Amino acid sequence: MSAAWLEFLNHVEMLAGFLAAVALFLVFARLQLLAPTPATRLGLVASGLDLLVWLVFGTLWLAGFVPVEPLPGWVARVWDTTYFVPTLWAASIFASTTSLLALGLTLHRGIRPPGPDAATVPGKPQGDEGMHDGRS
Amino acid sequence: MEKFEVICGGIASVILLLAVLRYRQHPLPATVRIGAFVLCAGQLFSLAATWVGLERINQLVEGRLFPDDEFNWYLVNGVEVSHEFIFFRSLFNILSQLALAILALGLLRFIHGLVRRQPDAVAP
């Protein structure tokens, strides 16, 4: 009874972790497009790494469901590779902590989309400020 | 390594909660605040197990849910823990991951709102 519960919770844990990694990556991608700062860039890289780790673990997890004979041996070989799981685990800890800290830093600095700021300054051209050469 | 993971996660989620609570530039959706709170609450079980010790937390939860399986054990960090301990640890992990997903989805909606508000700000 308990083993079935634990297996079910393990599956839900995988799905929830994957969902969280995807959502966080989407947030950083959107922030990077809207108001890019070093914090959003760091968060985008960290959440991308986290998503990658979840994809690897998710592939192995899904491969465990396939009832074909060669696959379980392949999965077992991957799991048994020295330092494979600890490396992925360490990468996951590093990536998730960094992305949470980057999100905190982004919120601490404030989200400033370029449009309204440019609009509030009278006479300042709207759009890409890098294109402004000072002659207009 | 497990302790390192728990401490890193705890510190990062508390910093994120403080950043969410201190954000005054625009009103954040309630889901972001709730997500940040639940993310911190989800770390409590692992933090307690690290702080107090796996054995004591294991004694607290042992036999509460699956009394028939008391002879089955799991090994975590060299300590024998019961099914219930693994059950609650997974449950709290799921809680924090779902909270992070809710927080992120709330932030996505918030950013979408910011982008939609932009033409209003530009218009005279």
Least confident of A32-36, A62-66, A130-134, B79-83: A130-134
Q: What is the reported pLDDT for B80?
A: 80
Tokens of A19: 């969902």
pLDDT tens digits, one per residue of A111-124: 887 765 544 444 44
Closest CA to A95 of A25, A37, A11: A25
Closest CA to A112 of B7, B104, B63, B23: B23
CB atoms within 10 A of CB B64: 11
Residue A119 lies in a domain: no
Name the residue range of residue B53's domain: 2-62+70-122
Q: Does B79 touch chain A (CB under 8 A)?
A: no
pLDDT tens digits, one per residue of A5-32: 888 888 899 999 999 999 999 999 999 9
* CA-based nearest distance A78→chain B, Å: 21
pLDDT tens digits, one per residue of A89-110: 899 999 999 999 999 999 998 8
Residue B32: burial class (beta carbons within 10 Å; 0-12, 13-18, 19+): buried
Mean pLDDT computed over B25-45: 91
Q: Does A31 touch chain B (CB under 8 A)?
A: yes
Residue A84 lies in a domain: yes
Residue A61 lies in a domain: yes
Least confident of A30-34, A37-41, B60-64: B60-64
> Are the CB atoms for A16 and B97 separated by under 8 Å?
yes
Name the residue range of residue A95's domain: 2-111
Overall number of domains in chain A? 1
Cα separation, B115 vs B104, whole angstroms: 16
Q: Which amino acid is at A50?
A: D
Residue A45 lies in a domain: yes
| Subunit contact B97:A13, Cβ cutoff 8 A | yes
- ipTM field: 0.85
For residue B53, name the pLDDT band (cuts at 50, 70, 90). Answer: confident
Chain A residues in contact with B91 by the CB 8 A cut-off are: 9
Q: Which of B86, B97, B121 lies nearest to residue A115, judging by beta carbons? A: B121
Cα separation, B81 vs B32, whole angstroms: 34
Q: What Å distances lie between residue B93 and A9, A19, A30, A94, B90, CA to CA?
A: 10, 13, 26, 17, 5
Helix (H) or strand (E) holding B54: helix B54-61
Overall number of domains in chain B? 1
Q: Does B15 touch chain A (CB under 8 A)?
A: yes
Helix (H) or strand (E) holding A110: none
